[in-house]
Structure formats: structure tokens, C-alpha cells
Structure 1
Amino acid sequence: MKLIVGALAVALLAGCSSPSDLMASAPSITVSSAKTPKAIALCVFPAWQEHNSNASMSETASGYRLVNGFAQQTDDVLDISSAKTGSVAKLYQRVAWSQIGRGDLRESLQKCK
């Protein structure tokens, strides 16, 4: 019984990921824009909130970051940073190939660039 409980605990922890875990891999999409990071973040954020009411937006040293997920599982991170001629937005997704129900996040980035 202890073995089953231990295996279940390991399986659950393996599914956890933080924004920094996602950002350690290559982004799913990188978009350049002439807009400021704040303008892109404010444009994209309503779609993220519609997808998940727990989505959050925070200011970083170089721009803005949007995070989407449930409990201790981060599914999507949009990191928007200042560039010489505007900004660069990088979308990181936990399962980038699985866009079921998450296509609006990519579309919102394309519309707001």
C-alpha cells in the first residue's frame, strides 16, 4: 500500500510546473511588435482571463508576464519584454501541440502584435 501511495505522489509531483520551468525551454511562438510591452499585455489579457479566470498579469523588470494555469500546474506563460523598436513577446506552453481550448491565447497574441 505504501508503494502505491508513494508512486501516486511521485506521479502527481511530476505533473507540477512553474512559470520558470516552462521558460527554461524554447518558446512556442515569438512575436515582435512596434507596441510597448504594456500595450500588448493589456490587449491580450482579456482573452487570457476569458480562457481562465485565474490568469494573472504582472509587471517585470523588462516588461510584463501573463501566466495561465490551475493549482500548481502552469500551462501557459507569455513573457513580453522591451526591445529597441518596441517589444518581443514569447509564448511558452506546457503542451504546445495540444491546442484544444487554448487556441484563443495564440490568436490573441497575433491580433495584438
Structure 2
Amino acid sequence: MKLFIGAMALVALAGCSTPSDLLRGAPELSATTKKSPKAYALCVYPSWQDYRSSSVMSETTDGYRIVAGSEMNGQTDDVLDIKRSSSGSSVKLYQRMAWQQLGRGDLKESFNSCL
């Protein structure tokens, strides 16, 4: 019984994620674009709002970041990190459960179409 409770606690903790947690891992997609970080962020943001109306776009010191999370459990599910580069922008998409793409197709589509 103790083993079962310990395993359940570990599973519960493993499910928690913040934007920082996702950014420590490998990105699901990465690319470069000649667009400025602001132009790229404004292009993809409507798709993120359609995916999750609570998506937040914020300016960072070197670009923009868009974050989408689950309202039910307070976890971060998706982060798009857009950084200024010498030729435009470097963009990276991080996803908590990358294998689960139900409802996320528009995020990847906008990622590519806005390049």
C-alpha cells in the first residue's frame, strides 16, 4: 500500500509543469524566420487564442513568449519562445505532452505558415 501511495505521489508531481520546466527540455519544433519577433508573434497568436482563450503573449528582453496552459489543473502545456537573431528570429515550440496533438494541429500549422 505504501508503494502504491508513493507511486501516485510521484505521478502527481511529474505532471506539474511551468514554462521554465518546458524550456529546460528539447523543443518539439524549431526554426528561423526573417520576420522580427513581434511580427512573428502577432502572426501566430490568433491560433494560440483559438486553441486556448487564456493564452498569454508577453514581451521578453530578447523577443516574445506565448504560453498556453490548462485552466483546470494550472499546468503549462505549450510554450512558443521567439528570440531575436541576427537574421530575424529564432522560434522554438515546447509542448508538455507532445505525443498528444488533439486540438493542437493549428499551433503547428501556424508555426510553419508564419515563418
TM normalised by structure 2 equals 0.88
The residue type paired with residue 110 of structure 1 is N
Q: Select the residue among 97, 104, 107 that pairs with 2:106.
A: 104
CA root-mean-square deviation: 1.9
Q: Offset of 1:48 from its aligned partner?
A: 0.2
Unaligned runs of 5+ in 2: none
Greater alpha carbon shift after TM alignment, 49-58 vs 93-102: 93-102
Q: Offset of 1:85 from its aligned partner?
A: 0.6
Within a 5 Å distance, the mapping from 1:1-113 to structure 2 comes to 10-70=10-70, 71-113=73-115
The residue type paired with residue 99 of structure 1 is Q
Q: Offset of 1:14 from its aligned partner?
A: 2.6
Aligned counterparts of 1:100 and 1:41: Cα–Cα separation in 2:
23
Of all paired residues, the percent bearing the same amino acid is 56
Unaligned runs of 5+ in 1: none
Q: Offset of 1:66 from its aligned partner?
A: 0.3
Q: How many residues align?
A: 113
TM normalised by structure 1 equals 0.89
Aligned counterparts of 1:54 and 1:6: Cα–Cα separation in 2:
33
